[in-house]
Chain A
Amino acid sequence: MAKRESPEVNAGSMADIAFLLLIFFLVTTTIGVDQGINRLLPRYEVDPPAPPINERNIMRVLVNKDNQLLVNEQLMNIKELRQAAINFLDNNGEGTCSYCKGKGDSQSSDNPDKAVISLMNDGQTTYETYIAVQNELVAAYYFLRDREAMRRYGRTYREMEYVYNDPASKAVEGLVDDLKPKVEKIQNMYPMRLSEAEPKKNY
């Protein structure tokens, strides 16, 4: 008797099955778009003591319930906020900051180390405005940090910080240890002193 050949399995429906799976995954999943502004909240204290800060070292940003901005008692458009914050932080009024490029205005901040931006919003301010303000202020800090990191290490601070904070970086020998002093150095040069006052409760 001749050897019987096994019949070929029909794979025509394989594509249908795979399409079915594909469509199932397309429907039940979302492409990860998770990104946002990272911030570190201050520790909770019942009665936070007010540190003695010279008035010219504070930039007061107020947002009212109609989402209007008041910066140091002056009405400001949000488009101008970033530059105003950069000018304030980089001012170097004392002349002690060797890496600053500010004007050295005696009415503005002494040193980026002392400069504080104080943000206060109303309970009725919308979250959208709050994020826009945060975004501009964070942009100001990152602009200055990136500028300094580029000058010193030839790469942006933003990129170094991401690698430094990524849990996956632990796997690479010496990577985190190498970045740590650099990241901390830049952080100390332009410390992010962005304080948020409790809003008045009227909601």
Chain B
Amino acid sequence: MSKFKKKKSGSLPAISTASLPDIVFMLLFFFMTATTMKDSDLKIENRLPKADQTAKLHKKQYVMYIYAGRPKANYISGLGSSDRIQLNDKISSVNDIKNFVLTERASRNSEDEKYLTTSLKIDKEVKMGLVQDIKTELRKVDQLKVNYTTAQGNPVGE
């Protein structure tokens, strides 16, 4: 008896960790809802230019992505060092854009189609010649809504 009594008076009661899982689950759900899955592994550099006159893109189901930039260091041996286009997971040429757009359109229902926007994620070092080619291809398939996706910041500042 005396042994137990001594202990009780001496030490603090243990802190209950029963609510720890709840806290962690809360964090988990926050991250699940606030983030999006990485869907493609980029083989090219993609440092977006800065702009501040931006609008948010609507839901992902209305967006398709076209990436462009110089291949990353570990891909240069295979792809060369000039600017390339990436559609989904594949490095592609300008001629593939037409098919890509048609496939993307077909994979959505007709109601969403008119909201479909092309997000151009183009590295800031890319030359305008390539960008112009991409735009011409998009115009040829009547995919006229584009979004020059940028990072937030003042382009003329500093």
Complex Cα distance, B51 from A7, in Å, reads: 61
Q: What residues of chain B lie closer than 8 Å to A158, measured between beta carbons?
A: 55
If over half of B's interface residues share one DSSP class (helix, strand or loop), that class is named, otherwise mixed; here it is mixed
Let me know if B119 and A36 touch, CB within 8 A.
Answer: yes
**A130 in contact with B128 (CB, 8 Å):** yes
Query: Quick check: B132 and A22 within 8 Å, CB to CB?
Result: no
User: In the complex, which residues 121-138 of chain A have their Cβ closer than 8 Å to any Cβ of chain B?
Assistant: 121-128, 130-132, 134-136, 138
Q: How far is the CA of A42 from the CA of B140 in the complex (A)?
A: 10
The answer for the CA separation of A141 and B62 in the assembled complex, in Å, is 26
If A123-B128, A199-B129, A203-B130 touch, whether A35 touches B21 (CB-CB below 8 Å) is no
Q: Is the CB of B147 within 8 A of A38?
A: yes
CB-CB nearest in chain A for B34: A31
Judge if A139 is at the interface, Cβ distance under 8 Å: yes
Asked if residues A37 and B35 are in contact (CB atoms below 8 Å), the reply is no
Q: Is A28 interfacial (CB-CB < 8 Å)?
A: yes
Nearest B residue (CB) for A31: B35
Q: A18-B24, A25-B28, A134-B148 are in contact. Are A34 and B123 (CB under 8 A)?
A: no
A-B contact count (CB 8 A): 180
A162 at the interface (CB under 8 A from B): yes
B124 at the binding interface (Cβ < 8 Å): yes
B35, B150, B152: the one contacting A25 at CB < 8 Å is B35
Query: Is residue A181 within 8 Å, beta carbon to beta carbon, of the partner chain?
Result: no
Which of the residues B53, B128, B148 comes within 8 Å of A125, measured between beta carbons?
B128
Contact of A43 among B18, B21, B131, B144 (CB under 8 A): B144
Is A50 at the interface (CB under 8 A from chain B)? no
Given A15-B17, A38-B145, A127-B49, check contact A29 B36 (CB 8 Å): yes
B89 at the interface (CB under 8 A from A): no
CA distance A22 to B37 in the complex (A): 14
* Contact (A127, B132) CB under 8 Å given A22-B27, A40-B145: no
Interface residues in B136-158 by Cβ distance below 8 A to A read 136, 138-140, 142, 144-152, 155-156
Top-6 shortest CB links A-B = A123-B129, A29-B35, A128-B124, A132-B155, A203-B129, A36-B149
- 17 further A-B contacts with Cβ under 8 Å, apart from A15-B21, A40-B145, A128-B125, are A22-B31, A29-B35, A32-B35, A33-B152, A35-B149, A36-B150, A37-B150, A41-B144, A44-B136, A122-B128, A123-B128, A127-B123, A128-B49, A138-B53, A139-B53, A162-B56, A167-B58
Interface residues of B (CB under 8 A from A): 17-18, 20-21, 24-25, 27-28, 31-32, 34-38, 49-59, 62-63, 112, 115, 117, 119-120, 122-132, 135-136, 138-140, 142, 144-152, 155-156
